[in-house]
Structure 1
Amino acid sequence: MKKMTTIVTIALLTTGCASLESTFSQYNAQALKIKPSKEADYKVKHAELAQTMGEIQQSLESPYGTIYAFSQGGYDSSPSVGKSFLRTAGELFKNSCKGEVNSLKRFEEDAHEGRLNPLLYATEEEIELISKHAVGSSTSSVTNKTFPQYLKLSYRAMLNPDQEKYRDSIVNYNKPFVRSVDFAAKGIDLSNHLLSTLRLGTKACYSDGKMVGAQIFFSHYKGKSVKGHTSAIAGTRGITSLYIPSKTIDTFIKSSFEVRLENVARQIKLKEAATARKAARKAARKEERAAREHAIAKNDAAQKQKWNNRFDSELNIGDSVCTPDNKIGFIEQVSGNNIKVWFRGKLVRENQNYFFGNSGKRPNSSFSYEKLNGLTWVKRGEVASCEFKLDT
């Protein structure tokens, strides 16, 4: 029984694919009848392509100007099976182009490979500036040379040029148009659809350093998530074609340069502010270091004087005294030139003459010492007055 079910399922799927393939074969046969023209506006030919699918070309508005679109949906399987139709559409666009045809690429790559003249959109100084502050680099498959990616902007930034923050992600030409156009107003429902560009039929026409037209095909479908995997809901697959005329593309590219230059200006200000903060921190650290060194030098000079004046200093019972080898203690008895000292400790890991001008530390700094507990008679001059605090 399970085997019979499987056979029926495969048969139904095969029938569905065959039916879709047959449908697109009919579309292709009609599309082959359209004669290309390098003189007429391609929107006329794009409208004829729509008619081959039984659709009407719609005029839509983007933030950059008019684009033209037609769409067809309701498929159970991917319309990408209609490769012959898409190839014919691509050839129609190619043969209607007065200049060079290429697949849609990044601005920088178009400029690097000589199709797009960036000087039509920015000055040499501006291009040099944004190249200097490029947000990445890429290598051309044509020239095998690396070029800077200086227009690496998010489509969100492109659609909202007044917003203050821009996320870095490479812009493909179709994304800003697809995301910014109200398809639903013309009966093309792409809301909550997943989009995936179909490379066949997706072309751009270049002439005299400008992109003078682009035809973009993309598939879409409503998806459902099952155990982390997204699949198409039955009957929701579709295909949409856009034709973007020269004026709209030109406005879009100009906007791209304007946004990037604004972004660079902001980057420079942020960089300058960061440099200023770094310099201020460095100056503060230098000033702090100088103050610390001055305090240490002043303290060590005063302590050195205590040793130098030890014979003239009056010593009394209970006074704290130190030795050049860093023993510390208290006077228990004074008898002429003899002094009885109760040594309580000896410093470890500190400079000799620590208390007499060679501490290398700020006043009242902590120190480590090993504990002693012995009464010793010393000669006057073997110890001198010093200041320290012992652990209680």
Structure 2
Amino acid sequence: MIGEWGRPLLTLLFAGASLAAGAVHAQQILRPEPPPGHVAGMFGDAMTTWKGELGVLSASTPGLVSIYTRSGGAWHAVQHMPAEPRFSMYRLAMGETWLAIATRDIGATGWPNYVDMYRRTAAGWSFAQRLNSPAPSFNGYVRNLVVSDSSIAISLGEWSANDVMVRSRVYTYTLEGELWGEARELVPPFDAPLFGEVMAANAHMLVVGDPTFFSGGTRFAISTFVRENDEWRFASSLGASIPDGYAFGRAMALCGSRLVVSTTGRTSGASPPVQGYVTVYHGGPESWVADGAPIVTIGGPDPTFGSSLACSESTLAIRSTRTKGAYALSFDGDRQVRQYIVTDPEASSGGFEVAVAGGDLFIGDPHGPWLSGAPQNDGAVYVYPGVGEFILIQGFD
């Protein structure tokens, strides 16, 4: 039975999809739980996962990262990592051994950027090293951050006086013994001004994109690099011939052996209206091949479908800025795809983040609760259990 705040679910189209109904389970809501003496505003502004572990960032100043694990059928906070008093936190990435958190010192001139590295220990995450920005002259911040056991990659953006990003660069760090070495710039294989606008990585591959790059009728947005002898070697480029008004590679994710790439459209001024879509690739890293037809919505064009992606080896989450929630599918079985709507009346109307872990879907709402027509910016994370097993949403318990 659908709960009090439940809503019908919109089924999506995917090649070979089955439309059979799934079971119904309740959802959980995570609220900020700052340790004594700390605050946790904009909880859910960024999230990261590793297998059965979830990291949630509170983007207030000082910042806070909270770590959750699942036990007894629910997610519970097991560790909090507060920032120094004048530091904000705004990006994070988790791997098997390392947790990387991008921070800014808003009390210093120029708001310098850093990446704080935490090592996994038997007692939890322990601070290990602070990495300085490799390009302190850039007036931007860390746009993307990915981490594996032996490598980190970050992209830094440079902004113009009227707040337009004019270029982006990618830098990598290599683990040298117990500490991380100096940053090295990753040279793009072509002249892409926003190289690093999107990134994804695992232990052996680094995928870097510039969704604005256009050459000869094809958008060569995505470059794949492979790890060889502590260096990243360029392996292949992935492009698409698409009309003006679309951005191939707006978001991407490495999901086990799959690469998932979204193509979004202009949100206004397009005639006819454009439809965002998501493509799943296999093969790589030397050559990626599309795996079936693209994933699209039905019931009207949505140019923002695929504005961000998150995945595990078995589950994919897709975000649209026009949807109060997210879409999800399991790569296993018949690949049903459904819409999961946040029906909490106090949730904000947009700006959600998505993550997946252990087959569960997480939707972060950093600007809620929405009270008396204004965001309170406390934040919440909505948990939909068993999405990877085609389990649907109902209202709150």
Higher relative contact order (CA 8 A, sep 6+): 2
TM-score tier (shorter):
under 0.3
Q: Which has the larger radius of gyration?
A: 1
Instruction: Calculate the TM-score normalised by the size of structure 2.
Output: 0.22
Structure with the higher fraction of residues in strand conformation: 2
